[in-house]
Amino acid sequence: MYISVYGEDRSALVRFDSRTKFVIFISSLAVSANSFNATAHEIYCVVLCVMLFLCGKKWNAVKMSLLLGTAVYVRTCMEMQATGSTVVVTIISFILTIFLYCFPILMSLLIITQTTRINQFLSAFQAMHIPTRIVIPIAVMFRFIPTVGEEWTGVRKAMAFRGMSLEPSVIIRHPVKTVEYILIPLLFSCISIMEELAAAALARGMDSDNARTSYETVHLRAYDYITMILFIAAGIWFFATGMVTGGAA
């Protein structure tokens, strides 16, 4: 899947504020951790796909929902059949479980990283008077996750060019060597990007204590509030029902 470094929302059907997307992320963390009701979890995942669609990444949204559908379908089939060797069933259901468990987090990360520009993120949180020391690490983290992915592809291509494959058998035979060959180039290319990023931030006066101005106008509109309330309610509902089940046990 191609992840663009800079998120863009030009093709968005509805322009959600980055705070709304952040609320979705937090709510997804709560849901992933506390979901035990399969149907509710699936509905939540579908809603996330719809959100990604609305935010403008239509093709990715379709792809992700197809993946989700396949995973749920296979799992339902395995539950209904209840035959086959235990080992295979356990391993496949383990993989599917991890996938479904991570799905809300993955989707909300996609929503944030693919459809939000970092300056939108910064100015939205600055409008809430959250100190920059908290906002900057989080914003940079979201900005950097796609970059790491890109650098990773680059390193893999460079390794293939030199005839070093990254197949599982090789990794198992030479774990330390593999770590060195992947990690060091990855780290150093990332460090040079960090330095450029820091220089760019300094050049734009991020270090000064004055309030920043921005081309981006950030407003919370009615649909932002509605979405936020819905997602917060979903998060609390999952959390509460999780607690009840835990308490009853």
Partner 1 sequence: MAKKEIAASANNNKKLRTKELIYAGAFGALYIVLMLVIVLGTSMIPILYLLAPITVGLVCGTVYMLCVLKVRKFGAALILGVLFAICACSNAWFSFVGALAAALLAELVIKLGKYRSKKMYLLSFVVFNLNMACPYMMLSFARDSFLKRSVEYYGQEYADGIEKIAPTWIFFPILGFALIGGILGALLANTLIKSTLKKQG
Binding site for partner 1 (CB under 8 A): 29-30, 32-38, 41, 79, 86, 89-91, 93-95, 97-98, 102, 105, 132-133, 136-145, 147-149, 152, 175-176, 179-180, 183-184, 186-188, 190-191, 193-194, 197-198, 201-202, 206-207, 242, 245-247, 249
Q: Mapped to the 3 state alphabet, what secondary structure does 115-149 carry? A: HCCHHHHHHHHHHCCCCHHHHHHHHHHHHHHHHHH
CB of 163 vs partner 1, minimal distance in Å: 21
Q: Which of 3, 6, 243 is nearest to 121 (CA)?
A: 6
**Which of 36, 225 has the CB closer to partner 1?**
36
CB of 53 vs partner 1, minimal distance in Å: 24
Phi-psi region of 205 (alpha: psi -120 to 50; beta: other; left: phi over 0): left
C-alpha count within 13 angstroms, C-beta hemisphere, residue 217: 2
Backbone phi, psi, residue 159, to 5°: -65, -40
Q: Which of 124, 121, 157 is nearest to 139 (CA)?
A: 121
**Which of 69, 242 has the CB closer to partner 1?**
242
**Which of 196, 221 has the CB closer to partner 1?**
196
CB of 225 vs partner 1, minimal distance in Å: 24
**Which of 131, 217 has the CB closer to partner 1?**
131
CB of 121 vs partner 1, minimal distance in Å: 12
With a CB cutoff of 8 Å and minimum separation 6, the contacts of 121 are 18, 22, 135, 139, 142, 143
CB of 194 vs partner 1, minimal distance in Å: 5
Taking residue 44's Cβ as centre, other Cβ atoms within 10 Å add up to: 23
Q: What 8-state DSSP symbol labels residue 163?
A: T
For residue 48, give the amino acid letter. L
**Which of 14, 159 has the CB closer to partner 1?**
159
**Which of 13, 145 has the CB closer to partner 1?**
145
CB of 107 vs partner 1, minimal distance in Å: 14
